[in-house]
Structure 1
Amino acid sequence: MSSFICPICLTNRNFVSFAKMFQHVTVYHRNESNFKMTCNLHRSCGVLYKTYAGYKSHIYRQHLSELHSTEKNHNNLTTIPVSKQEDNMNLLVESDLTNGDINDQLNFANDNIESMVQKDDYETGFDDSVLSFGSITNDGKQLGSMWDIKRSYILFMLQLREECLLPKNVMSIISTYIITLMQNLETLLEKKAFNYTAESYSAVSSSRKENKKAIEFDQLKHVLDDIRNAIQSNTKNEYQFVKQCEKYFAYTSPEEIVLSSAGEVPEHAYFIPIEKTLSSMLNYQPLVIQILENIQQQQTTTKHDDDLMFSIRDGYHGSRLDHDSLLLQLYLDDIGLTNPIGSKRDEHKMCMIYFSLEDIPDQLRSKVDFIQLVGVCESKTLKDNIKAKRFFQPIIDNLNKLQLHGLVINGIHHKFSFSTVVADNLAAHLVGGFRLCFNSGHFCRRCYVTYDEKNLPIPLSQIKIRTIFDHDDLVKRIMNDPNKFPLMGVIDQSPLNDLIGFHPIVSLPGDIMHDFIEGACPLVVMSLLKQASSMRLITYGEK
């Protein structure tokens, strides 16, 4: 039996047919930036394709017969012959999945499904004019010929492009899936067909018996009715769609957090439990093996070279962490839902909180699949310390539970430890309880230097560094002050104060991009340009 291996997967997965491998590539690898596929179906091929579109076009032009083969059979009044495929494709509607299909389902569950659905009004229906295939015809007549079907489908594509403004690549995805759905339907009907013997006649020979397959028309109609009802019920409203995503793709619905008090204008935020996301990720055993091997490799390397630092466990404050625990890192950033100008530019900003496993191998760390959403709220609500604490409290409770009890997945007990909160300077000061103004007073969260002293040539040995004990004392004095007057750049207690392993002095690393690219790098570049000008290498002038 021929075997087809996916060259993109790290595990070199095998498929019994090219149709299954092509379907796998279509679902899981079509949007990868480093897509590379070489066609080796025939000796005349061997061309390397660096885009999925080019590879798909080649397959459909040159190797369509490899995807499925058809045999023309004669129809009668009571039965409809079904063409037998060379390789049975993987049915998405089947419940008896094979081991390979189960792995596919687990891999697909790790994707960011939360970006596909939104928990708003569950009773909001879809536009019937778009979903109803028969409503696109102008005269309302039944489609009785292939010409009518082609005309109706082209009109459907025009409606998607002109009215719904869908781009060409999205329309191509829709067409590809319709073809895949028809292929799956053909395979399903083949399993319900029965064998019968028919006599065939030719001009040069006598009659001979042939084995064929057929299916009763009533059974065919019943199958089509089941598929049509399943599609209509799944897309009837948002509630049914979310339930189907939870059933088939392990989708986790966000939990609502009430930020406003009684009598105030309702304000809400949303939170996704971290342990559910971790369960989906670590349920894939090859990923767990890669993470553990990466930890072991880093620990071995640092033993031979003390100057290397791969994570916080290799630093001064890493001694408090268990060496066999997985590090959880939070990431905080604001996004703008609109692009206004002037004073309205911050009115529609949302604060997004993500988490990632810090021990993920380097080749996977920057991929979107391994940066998971935790919470979302309006940015302006976090400026209120009470609402900020209400927003962060479920996240704190979730992380503390993971650090105290861990997770048992596939019989393996995984331990977790919180590492750091990665953010820009503004967001770091917000969650750390520091001043949000950087052009006066004590603007640094690492030391007590003032804004007036920042350009003075002061030796580092003379700059007083912030310590955990000094910060805790300042916070205590502020909390006991009825006026809550800021002290030495500290304005309040951090909303993450109850998080195990977090402290504003050691858990908020520097903003390297802004500090170096916008801070140190311009000064260095300017000094280099001035030195080059003094040496008569270049000239510069002001207009």
Structure 2
Amino acid sequence: MDLRELCKFENDKHKILFTFPTHLTENGNKDICVSDSGAVVVIDEKGVFRFRYRGISQDSNFDPYGICSDSECNIIVADMKNDKIHMINQNGGFICFLYYEDMKMPRALCIDENDDLYTHLSNSKEQFRNEDILESLVEVNDEGNGNQIESDEEEMEMTIAPEINFQRKLGIFLLSLREKYKLPSVVIPEIVNEFLSMIDFHQAQFSQSLNEFSESFQLNEEHCNQLKMIVEEKSQVESAFTSLNSEYKINKFAKKELQYVKPLEFKPDWTRNDTYQYVPILETLQNLLSHDDVFSYIMNNHKSTDGVIRDFCDGEVYQRNALFANDPNAIQIMLFFDEFTAVNPLGHQIKNYKIGGFYMLLGNLPPKFRSQLYCIQLVALCMSHTIKNNGYKKILEPLINDLKTLETEGINVSKSDGDHTLFGTVSVVIADNLGAHSLGGFMESFTTLRNCRFCFITKADMQRKFDCQNLNMRTIQMHTEQVRLVENDSSLAPVYGLKGTCCLNELQNFHSINGMPSDIAHDLFEGVKLLPR
């Protein structure tokens, strides 16, 4: 298929998928990968839109040109303006950059049956290798193609430079100084104002030089006034610095430009001063799914096809879940709970400063992304004593209501190929053993008669029985009945190892009995399970 056939194919489908396509390749999975204006657009062999890759950030000024794919269906595309070559997987997920220090404007790409990649660089003929990514990366021989290359270079010289949003670039830079490099908030405005002073000094010097130039060449008054207006006019750079010269303005920029989800403050008990913060999970999901790479992972699950268990979606709990079994594109929410202190109090005062944090990430993302901080989203923050005074049900009420909406009504995501309604629920709740027992309604004392949330083994038998196959495992039906008995007679709590039900069990497709896996790090490192020597 060439570009003319591609445009005809697009018109036949009455869908505008491409703006200015330049290069295309057919991937090993039959997808058609197209270098378009500012993006790589991928459609399947039937012409159905799959995803659009715009670079690793909105400000990357991505300029795709030559494109090819390797034997593992990874897509490799030249990014001329940024002097890089991007490698993404077949679902649009970024893998890495292929580049070396002096690489300039990579253009044409091709790859052979041995996954040797060839590229033309506009500035030189260099050969370089990256054996961790591809077997080799060498340059194509351009003999006999000089006219075409010269024509391309002339065309590039005529290309109009894109408009740059200086305020956005500066705002993201200042926020990275504060959040990534941990510069104090009071320092950032000082840096901005210092730059403004230097800009003013530069303009004063330039104005003086311009006056001297005007006098020496005896320019008339009209020309002098025009030059003066040009010099005194505030530039985009100066305007950007002025608009971000205080902490208030920087925070306002972040809220307006960076898909900010405003936390909501709740007061669980009007007789107390306790409050907690909840970040609406449905809004967070909408923002996440607005990114094509995240959306592509939802629509193209990573379940194993060879029977090997590699992730939660390959296990029996996932397969027995009614929502996940019937809808492979359902959103899997992995919920985290942990308590921490933001200060370092001594002695008994520590309980007054402990904070409970609830976080989430998408289980639809491949595991390699799920350990990255930028993939983990805040759900709620609450002082631990507020949880103790009011209970988890009261604190998590807004979250549970949103999750019920997600299960029954779903959320609507608009893409270029139409609207998609996605449903989802909590797949697992991850916490340390104390946190899981507290949230799950199990006994928090590990010296009680039955202190396991998976089976009914006694504390004494736990020291000598290690094969779960011969133990009486907890079931949802059994758990429901025992909770009813404990609610009627609290003295039965140690007998069943229960205090009550888990508030998350109100969801249609989640239950604490099979939704709270063990915390392997704590169990191994704290000596709960003995490792062979």
Amino acid at match of 1:318: Q
Partner of 1:474: 482
Partner of 1:288: 295
Partner-residue secondary structure (3-state), 2:355: strand
CA-to-partner distance for each residue in 1:128-157, whole Å, 9 max, x for gaps? 7666439999xxxx98689x99xxxxxxxx
Amino acid at match of 1:334: E
Structure number with the bigger relative contact order (C-alpha 8 A, sep ≥ 6) is 1
Following TM superposition, by how much is the alpha carbon of 1:468 offset from its aligned partner in structure 2, in angstroms?
A: 1.4
Q: CA separation of 1:448/1:508 partners in 2, compared to 1, >3 Å: closer, same or farther? A: same
The partner residue of 1:401 within 401, 405, 418 is: 405
1:379 aligns with 2:384: yes
Normalised TM-score (structure 1)? 0.58
Partner-residue secondary structure (3-state), 2:255: helix
Partner of 2:502: 494
Partner-residue secondary structure (3-state), 2:165: coil
1:338 aligns with 2:347: no
Q: CA separation of 1:345/1:262 partners in 2, compared to 1, >3 Å: closer, same or farther? A: closer
CA-to-partner distance for each residue in 1:448-493, whole Å, 9 max, x for gaps? 2222222134864553222212221222223334889655211123
Amino acid at match of 1:311: F
Determine if contact 2:337/2:429 at 8 Å carries over to the other structure.
Answer: yes
CA–CA distance in 2 between the matches of 1:432 and 1:126? 44
Alignment of 1:117-196 (within 5 A): 132-133=193-194
1:223 aligns with 2:234: yes
Partner of 1:14: 63
The partner residue of 1:327 within 332, 341, 358 is: 332
Determine if contact 1:8/1:36 at 8 Å carries over to the other structure.
Answer: no
Determine if contact 2:189/2:247 at 8 Å carries over to the other structure.
Answer: no
Determine if contact 2:354/2:384 at 8 Å carries over to the other structure.
Answer: yes
Q: CA separation of 1:368/1:135 partners in 2, compared to 1, >3 Å: closer, same or farther? A: closer
Partner of 1:420: 428
Determine if contact 2:298/2:364 at 8 Å carries over to the other structure.
Answer: yes
Alignment of 1:36-435 (within 5 A): 37-39=99-101, 40-41=103-104, 43=124, 88=161, 90-93=163-166, 132-133=193-194, 216-224=227-235, 231-232=241-242, 234-236=244-246, 238=248, 240-259=249-268, 261-264=269-272, 266-293=273-300, 295=301, 298=303, 301=305, 304-305=306-307, 308=309, 310-312=311-313, 314-316=315-317, 318-319=319-320, 320-321=322-323, 322-324=326-328, 325-340=330-345, 342-384=347-389, 386-410=390-414, 411-435=419-443
CA–CA distance in 1 between the matches of 2:334 and 2:202? 59
Amino acid at match of 1:256: E
CA–CA distance in 1 between the matches of 2:467 and 2:443? 25
Partner of 2:15: none
CA–CA distance in 2 between the matches of 1:389 and 1:114? 35
Alignment of 1:442-457 (within 5 A): 442-457=450-465
Q: CA separation of 1:24/1:34 partners in 2, compared to 1, >3 Å: closer, same or farther? A: closer
CA–CA distance in 2 between the matches of 1:407 and 1:359? 16
The partner residue of 2:517 within 495, 499, 509 is: 509
Partner-residue secondary structure (3-state), 2:428: strand
Amino acid at match of 1:289: S
Q: CA separation of 1:237/1:486 partners in 2, compared to 1, >3 Å: closer, same or farther? A: same
Determine if contact 2:84/2:99 at 8 Å carries over to the other structure.
Answer: no
CA-to-partner distance for each residue in 1:361-414, whole Å, 9 max, x for gaps? 233232222221111112232233x34222101111111111111122122222
Q: CA separation of 1:418/1:115 partners in 2, compared to 1, >3 Å: closer, same or farther? A: farther
Q: CA separation of 1:393/1:235 partners in 2, compared to 1, >3 Å: closer, same or farther? A: farther
Partner-residue secondary structure (3-state), 2:229: helix
Partner-residue secondary structure (3-state), 1:218: helix
CA–CA distance in 2 between the matches of 1:281 and 1:457? 45
CA–CA distance in 2 between the matches of 1:336 and 1:33? 36
Amino acid at match of 1:92: N
Following TM superposition, by how much is the alpha carbon of 1:338 offset from its aligned partner in structure 2, in angstroms?
A: 2.5
Q: CA separation of 1:337/1:519 partners in 2, compared to 1, >3 Å: closer, same or farther? A: same
Aligned CA-pair RMSD: 5.0
CA–CA distance in 2 between the matches of 1:381 and 1:326? 30
CA–CA distance in 2 between the matches of 1:126 and 1:408? 41
CA–CA distance in 2 between the matches of 1:459 and 1:286? 43
Following TM superposition, by how much is the alpha carbon of 1:505 offset from its aligned partner in structure 2, in angstroms?
A: 0.9
Any gaps of 5 or more consecutive residues in structure 1? Answer: 26-31, 50-83, 96-100, 117-123, 150-197, 202-213, 526-543
Q: CA separation of 1:34/1:430 partners in 2, compared to 1, >3 Å: closer, same or farther? A: farther
Determine if contact 1:268/1:377 at 8 Å carries over to the other structure.
Answer: yes
Amino acid at match of 2:397: Q
Q: CA separation of 1:134/1:317 partners in 2, compared to 1, >3 Å: closer, same or farther? A: closer
CA–CA distance in 2 between the matches of 1:90 and 1:518? 56
Following TM superposition, by how much is the alpha carbon of 1:220 offset from its aligned partner in structure 2, in angstroms?
A: 3.9
Amino acid at match of 2:436: A
Partner-residue secondary structure (3-state), 2:447: coil
Determine if contact 1:291/1:361 at 8 Å carries over to the other structure.
Answer: no
CA–CA distance in 2 between the matches of 1:460 and 1:348? 39
CA–CA distance in 1 between the matches of 2:124 and 2:289? 41
CA–CA distance in 2 between the matches of 1:523 and 1:18? 50
Amino acid at match of 1:133: E
Amino acid at match of 1:14: D
Question: Larger helix proportion, structure 1 or 2?
Answer: 1
Amino acid at match of 1:429: H
Following TM superposition, by how much is the alpha carbon of 1:287 offset from its aligned partner in structure 2, in angstroms?
A: 3.2
Q: CA separation of 1:375/1:5 partners in 2, compared to 1, >3 Å: closer, same or farther? A: closer
Q: CA separation of 1:419/1:255 partners in 2, compared to 1, >3 Å: closer, same or farther? A: same
CA–CA distance in 2 between the matches of 1:311 and 1:18? 36
Determine if contact 1:330/1:421 at 8 Å carries over to the other structure.
Answer: yes
CA-to-partner distance for each residue in 1:146-195, whole Å, 9 max, x for gaps? 9x99xxxxxxxxxxxxxxxxxxxxxxxxxxxxxxxxxxxxxxxxxxxxxx
Determine if contact 1:313/1:323 at 8 Å carries over to the other structure.
Answer: no
Partner of 1:177: none
